[in-house]
Amino acid sequence: LTYRGLPIETFAEEKVSFVETAWLLIFGELPTEAQRDDFRKRLTEYSALHRSMDLHFNAFPPNGHPMAIMSSMINAMSTHD
């Protein structure tokens, strides 16, 4: 298994982070320290869920099928900017 031509073992041996791996997959090269820090900040900013999503999620029955819940949550998230 390779990512952008690099063996996956390289990522484990060099302890490449998720953020660095995501950057590599998107841009084709590992990020500089500044790029990594900026990308991590952006990922954090854009990963925050709207408060109403918590209420929406808690409204599902406890025995609801996980894929149905996930699908519904993704659709609901698309209504927020």
Q: How far apart are CA 37 and CA 19, in angstroms?
A: 9
Residue 2 has φ and ψ, to the nearest 5°, of -130, 150
Distance CA 30, CA 76 (A): 34
pLDDT digits (tens, 9 = 90+) for 13-58: 888 899 999 999 999 999 999 999 999 999 998 888 888 888 889 9
**Is the Cα torsion angle 34, 37, 41, 43 positive or negative in sign?**
positive
Q: Model pTM?
A: 0.63
Task: Give the ranges where 1-81 is alpha helix by DSSP (H).
Answer: 8-13, 18-27, 33-46, 51-58, 66-77
